Structure 1
């Protein structure tokens, strides 16, 4: 059986996936990068080392070979499709993909991490010819206009955060509360303990967003309120900010179809908030929302069969 290999080495996850000729994901392997308790993240040099170690583990276990012969490989070589977009971590996936393609004789395709995210988010969802894609993670908060009718994804930025990413706010809250990093899951669990919210002010300008104000408010609130109430308030503020900016992007671009993905969109509370307020919203499946290589495996199949 022919299979198609995707490899992604993002800031915090090593991912390898295989798709079959029907775009079914037959293997989806993810190894989180280790972040020591109390640390705010990883330096790129540390992450590169950990990715190399993790990929060696994955390939040494020889799990992939039992699924079939690799016909094409697709990797994330850069973060986003903008000029100058670069992170050292993605040189690892580019290197591993080149080696896999060379050894197997498979075709090699290089795309961006964001392309992979969009393709993964579309697994099991409707694929409009033109739609808005909302990438919400620890490193990126961006609204992009996507044209999927040209044999790939033509991506144009339609809005973005002007200071810190939504995921950074959540992680910094987790750090204040001595939670493990990344903190999204723990903040969500903590928020479930509260029925009260503080109504934090949000900041948007058209389709652009700011989250540093929410960060300042949560720091002050922790001096007075319990952790559950602050966590719930931060998650709602993130949802409200996204709602306001995305609705403006819908109006400006005349596009109603919206696809949400990224690590922050694994949060069920934020997903529920947005699904109630944006009628044509679709969300990546939880297992494909955070960093993964499944979308790259699907793109490998699509590109190989053009």
Structure 2
């Protein structure tokens, strides 16, 4: 490279409309310039989960204003943009199409290359905005409402391999369902975390899914845990006893954090990597962060967790991945590139 380049990122895979801007320096480092997000979470709260059609319409309404806020924050104009990255998948079909259509329009109008990138890879790449370049090999654990995955990263723009995944409810999805059982607000992560700090994590022995000797070592299952919480609460109510919400939250949260961190550390040891990156909305959970730090320290594994704002869906993570893809010399995506709700994590950029 002979000059710094500005990459614009657009994210619309679920219920956040994100626009981010980063600067790719000549030495390959990536600097965050702006991160603007518009969330439609309040519009979904009454339903207890994301409604795809509502999310798509919210993206349509928010795209242009969010773009303007990002540009204002960075002090740049659209004419300063050298490349555009957009989430091509995975995600909700209608929501993805809004972002992809917008990115194509901007790329065509500006005459700059377009890169359709992987949402999951973006969650890994965003850590480089916080802690600098990733090592050549590392393990990433993504924990959110839709994903609980372990990924072996061998070059953020070159090769990402899925090591483990959820076979049913993702961790964040389990939080939302347990919150509904306990009449706590949606999304369930923050209110459960808050209640858990007041409770006893050993009060109730909730199960740890897929932790038996014959179970898949790196896969996750939280559906049984969610059902166990529901059955426990039903039994207490049937017996006329008051539900100790803080204890239920603390015990549930301990089960989730225990499984996630134990499997992540095991995978890191087995794969001989010494760095673990945790990202996704659930990465902001206090107990997960605490237990991960403890177990990584005991195992001699370096732990990297982006600040909470960067863990949730945002345009900065897509701009960051786009910058790494651009630096790698990868070919741009075609302008007829489709949105792909089932895009595999191994496809880092659509070509």
Q: Same fold (TM over 0.5)?
A: yes
The yes-or-no answer on 1:88 pairing with 2:99 is no
Residue 137 (structure 1) aligned with residue 144 (structure 2): yes
The runs of 4+ residues in structure 1 deviating greater than 6 Å are: none
Q: Contact 1:132 / 1:259 at 8 angstroms: preserved in 2?
A: yes
User: How far apart in 2 are the matches of 1:105 and 1:75?
Assistant: 16
Indicate which of 98, 104, 109 corresponds to 2:104: 98
Counterpart-to-counterpart distance in 2, 1:60 and 1:127? 31
Match of 2:289? 271
Change (3 A) 1:107 1:211: same
Alignment partner of 1:283 is 2:312: no
SS in 1 for 2:84: strand
Task: Determine if contact 1:5/1:297 at 8 Å carries over to the other structure.
Answer: yes
Contact map agreement 1:35 1:41 (CA 8 A) in 2:
no
**Is the 2:22–2:31 Cα contact (8 Å) retained in structure 1?**
yes
1:63 corresponds in structure 2 to: 72
Unaligned runs of 5+ in 1: 80-84
Which of these residues, 241, 253, 265, is aligned with residue 235 of structure 1? 253
* Stretch deviating more after TM superposition (2-11 or 158-167): 2-11
Task: Give the deviation of 1:65 after TM superposition.
Answer: 7.6
CA shift at 1:256, angstroms? Answer: 2.9
Instruction: Map Cα deviations across residues 98-150 of structure 1 (whole Å, 9 max, x no partner).
Output: 1111122222111111111111133222511011111111111111111117x
Cα distance, 1:203 vs structure 2: 1.7
- Residue pairs, 1:1-306, within 5 angstroms: 3-22=6-25, 23-33=30-40, 34-59=42-67, 63=72, 66-68=75-77, 69-79=80-90, 87-125=93-131, 127-148=134-155, 152-197=157-202, 198-204=204-210, 205=215, 206-222=217-233, 223=236, 225-279=243-297, 280=301, 281-305=303-327, 306=329
2:191 and 2:92 map into 1 onto residues whose CA distance is: 30
Q: Could you tell me how far 1:60 is from its partner in structure 2? A: 5.6
What number of residue pairs does the alignment pair up?
299
| TM-score, length basis structure 2 | 0.79
Structure (1/2) with the larger strand percentage: 1
In the superposition, relative to structure 1, how do residues 86 and 44 fare at CA in structure 2: closer, same or farther (>3 Å)?
closer
**Alpha-carbon distance in structure 2 between the residues aligned to 1:30 and 1:71:** 21
Per-residue deviation, residues 74-107 of structure 1 (Å, max 9, x unmatched): 111111xxxxx87332122111111111122222
Q: 1:227 to 1:264 in 2, by over 3 A?
A: same
**TM-score of the superposition, structure 1-length normalised?**
0.90
CA distance in 2, matches of 1:196, 1:162: 25
CA distance in structure 2 between the partners assigned to 1:160 and 1:59 by the alignment: 33
Q: CA RMSD in A?
A: 2.2
